[in-house]
């Protein structure tokens, strides 16, 4: 094990999967529509986590879903009855820019709860951001 705690020869990514986002009970999108993290699960915030991981030589990956909700509830059901944390549906460009501002290196885009009508918007808006100054994510994954 190296001085940064990383095992030699291993990939440097630490990826955070589903249920990191705030539910509507927690104010899942700010008034501006910007995605936010769950303050109960990440009291210091995702940017602080990213900075902490980068300082130790790791790259950080983050999950989002193509639809309006993610696949899992994470044990949380909101007062509106929504079963899942918010996804990126309808906010593709905004979320890509938000994740980039947080220093995210890898984005996993899950094909969960994706309405067919949004497919073209997602392809036109999100995928070209991969290599622009707006989104510096090194790697994108769609599942």
User: What is the pLDDT, as a whole number, of residue 87?
Assistant: 82
pLDDT one-digit tens code per residue, 59-90: 899 988 888 778 776 666 655 666 667 788 88
Over residues 83-137, the pLDDT tens digits come to: 667 788 888 888 888 998 999 988 888 877 666 655 655 555 555 545 544 455 5
pLDDT given for residue 9 in this prediction: 60
Greater confidence (40 vs 72) lies with 40
**Is the pTM for the entire model greater than 0.75?**
no
Q: Give the C-alpha separation, 29 to 59, whole Å.
A: 25
CA-closest candidate to residue 60, choices 73, 48, 70, 68: 48
**Residue 55 banded pLDDT, cuts 50, 70, 90:** very high
User: Nearest-5° angle of CA 111, CA 17, CA 57?
Assistant: 125
CA 33 to chain centre: 15
What percent of the chain shows pLDDT beyond 70? 57
- Regarding predicted confidence, which is higher, 35 or 28? 35
CB 126, CB 93: distance < 8 Å: yes
Res 53: pLDDT: 93
Question: Which three-class secondary structure state does DSSP give residue 94?
Answer: helix
How does the average pLDDT of the chain come out, rounded?
A: 74
Look at residues 114, 91, 87 and name the one whose alpha carbon lies nearest to residue 19: 87
- Using only C-alpha atoms, the chain has a radius of gyration, in whole angstroms, of 15
Q: Residue 1: what pLDDT?
A: 47
């Amino acid at each position: 094990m190296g001085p940064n705690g990383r095992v030699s020869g291993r990939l440097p990514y630490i990826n955070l999967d589903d249920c990191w986002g705030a539910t509507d009970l927690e104010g899942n999108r700010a008034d501006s529509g910007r995605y936010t993290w769950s303050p109960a699960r990440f009291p210091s915030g995702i940017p602080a986590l990213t900075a902490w991981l980068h300082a130790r030589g790791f790259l950080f990956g983050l999950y989002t879903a193509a639809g309006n909700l993610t696949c899992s509830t994470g044990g949380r059901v909101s007062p509106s009855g929504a079963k899942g944390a918010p996804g990126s549906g309808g906010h593709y460009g905004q979320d890509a820019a938000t994740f980039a501002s947080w220093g995210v290196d890898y984005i996993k885009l899950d094909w969960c709860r994706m309405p067919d009508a949004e497919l073209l918007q997602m392809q036109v808006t999100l995928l070209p951001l991969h290599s622009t100054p707006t989104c510096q994510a090194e790697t994108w994954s769609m599942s």
